[in-house]
A and B are shown apart, each in its own frame.
Chain A
Amino acid sequence: MHFGPVLDRAPEFVDGTINTILLSGQGIVIGLAIGLAVAIIRVEGPRWLDRIAVAYIEIIRNTPLLVQVFLFFFGLPYIGLRLSADTSAIIAISFNLGAYSAEIFRAGFLAIPKSQIEAGLALGLTRLQTIRYVVIVPALKVVFPALTGQLTLTLLGSSVVCAISANELTLAASKVESLTFRSLETFLVAGAIYVTLTFVFRFTYWLISLWLFHRKDPARFQIAGALPHGQERVEA
């Protein structure tokens, strides 16, 4: 095996990697926003909206991502939106993740005992405030593994958008392959990059989980203006 010619084309791989990160990154952010909104609609909203949400979720979950990509790419022009391949890809990925993450978020919401919500309401919080301050963080904690697993699938699944020539790593690898004719080496390198990306993303998710779910050390707990623990404060 000769990796030389392939590694000579490192810039293409770097370009492709950056594009994959940008593509799936945007898809993830938008997809999670859609998923959260749909989950809240399903849990709190009216019945008819719930049925629409279920239809959306079931259609996405029972059709392949590749077909969804084709539908968005070829279908959007029909409603007057002539978008680039890259943009269509992001939209398709977002809608795809939206459906899967909606179900995951909803499972998290349903895992929170009703009594927590009652306590929030009894204190005068609105339903939305209760979701924001009482439900979301514990719900996220419950479903975090499932959610990050889905995000990994999204990252890796983004590889199929090369079918509409959207710029990402697999497309870059295909180009390198057609130039060097070194198929095995090219795709091994691409594969290795994807594996590395997966582990980097997972590490990032772990860091995020630390920030989201960490506990404040009581000894250092203080609020701006309040005094550190251990000092007496004379109360009026």
Chain B
Amino acid sequence: MIQSFGFSSLPILLHGALWTLILSASTFVAAGIFSLIFALLRVLGPKPVRLLIAGYIELVQATPLLILLFLAYYGLSFLGYYFPPLAAAVISLTLYATAFLADIWRGCIEAIPKQQWEAADALAMSTPQKLRYVILPQAFRISLGPTVGFLVQIVKNTSVTALISFVELTRAGQLLNNMTFQPFEVFLTVAAMYFIICYPLSYYSEYLQGGKRARSST
């Protein structure tokens, strides 16, 4: 039955949007935990560990997210594990996001001048103490802007999971399109909803990075 696209279509889209948010949030939390660990390991760890993590980052950053997604969803089922779309989505999104976020956070930690480390050393602080009281608080402040900016990327990346039939916002749009055959209106609305989610985050990210927006007049 071909319905018409209108307000009655909203619940489907909103449902999809909800899952977009859930997926984004879970990815961000999971990737956050791993990224922090990896970033610290890359700065402080032994050489083989540093190289391993660097290799992982380089490899993942050279692979499309979609391929990772297909590998998780179709590929791992071969190993005898059935991964429901949600699990495959979270795993691949997290794997992908960690590779980028760990690099961003590593950069923020390395941005702290060597003198700060030396000062903490001179005060006889242990490494965990240095990190906790001196380095990470400063790195955190620097990382806020780029991290919020990357959150926008995470939200946009969730759209790819539509291609393994996970019903987030984009997939909801595809389903709605199949019901109404009004793709332009449907996807315009979908785009608008993404915009409503992402733009405030982008704006906040710019604001955190020193008001480039404020200086953007010609």
Q: Touch between A and B in complex, CB under 8 Å?
A: yes
| Known contacts A75-B184, A152-B62; A64/B202 CB under 8 A | no
Closest to A158 in B: B64
Q: Is the CB of B198 within 8 A of A66?
A: no
Q: Indicate which residue in B61, B74, B195 contacts A63 across the interface (CB closer than 8 Å).
A: B195
A150 CB to closest chain B CB (Å) equals 12
B113 CB to closest chain A CB (Å) equals 22
Q: Is the CB of A159 within 8 A of B191?
A: no
| Known contacts A59-B195, A188-B75; A183/B170 CB under 8 A | no
Q: Is the CB of A195 within 8 A of B62?
A: yes
Residues of A within 8 A of B78 (CB): 182-184
Stretch with Cβ within 8 A of A (4 or more), from B30-38, B135-143, B157-165: B157-165
Of B67, B157, B191, B198, chain A has the most CB atoms within 10 Å of the CB of B67
Q: Is the CB of B198 within 8 A of A63?
A: yes
Q: Is the CB of A190 within 8 A of B67?
A: yes
Q: Indicate which residue in B66, B76, B157 contacts A184 across the interface (CB closer than 8 Å).
A: B76
Q: Is the CB of B75 within 8 A of A62?
A: no
Of A42, A43, A47, A194, chain B has the most CB atoms within 10 Å of the CB of A194
| Known contacts A67-B173, A184-B75; A43/B218 CB under 8 A | yes
B63 within 8 A of A: yes
Q: Is the CB of A50 within 8 A of B218?
A: yes
Q: Is the CB of A194 within 8 A of B77?
A: no
Of B64, B79, B195, chain A has the most CB atoms within 10 Å of the CB of B64
Residues of A within 8 A of B177 (CB): 74
A32 CB to closest chain B CB (Å) equals 20
Residues of B within 8 A of A71 (CB): 184, 187-188, 191
Considering the chains assembled together, what is the distance between the CA atoms of A59 and B202 in angstroms? 11
Q: Is the CB of A45 within 8 A of B218?
A: yes
Closest to B188 in A: A71
Q: Is the interface of A mostly helix, strand, loop or mixed?
A: helix
Q: Is the CB of B163 within 8 A of A163?
A: yes
| Known contacts A163-B163, A194-B67; A74/B184 CB under 8 A | yes
Considering the chains assembled together, what is the distance between the CA atoms of A19 and B183 in angstroms? 26
Q: Indicate which residue in A54, A67, A160, A187 contacts B163 across the interface (CB closer than 8 Å).
A: A160
Closest to A42 in B: B218
Q: With contacts A66-B162, A191-B68 known, what are 9 further pairs, Cβ within 8 A?
A: A58-B199, A63-B191, A74-B184, A75-B187, A159-B65, A170-B66, A183-B74, A183-B78, A184-B71
A-B contact pairs, 30 of them (CB 8 A): A44-B218, A50-B218, A61-B202, A62-B199, A62-B202, A64-B156, A64-B158, A64-B160, A67-B159, A68-B191, A70-B173, A70-B183, A74-B187, A156-B64, A156-B65, A157-B64, A162-B66, A163-B163, A170-B67, A174-B70, A177-B70, A182-B78, A183-B70, A183-B75, A184-B71, A184-B76, A187-B70, A191-B68, A195-B62, A195-B63
Binding site for B on A (CB under 8 A): 42-45, 47, 50, 54, 58-59, 61-68, 70-71, 74-75, 78, 152, 156-160, 162-163, 170, 173-174, 177, 182-184, 187-188, 190-191, 194-195, 198-199
For the complex of A and B, the 6 pairs showing the least CB-CB separation, nearest first, are A74-B183, A183-B74, A64-B159, A184-B75, A62-B198, A198-B62
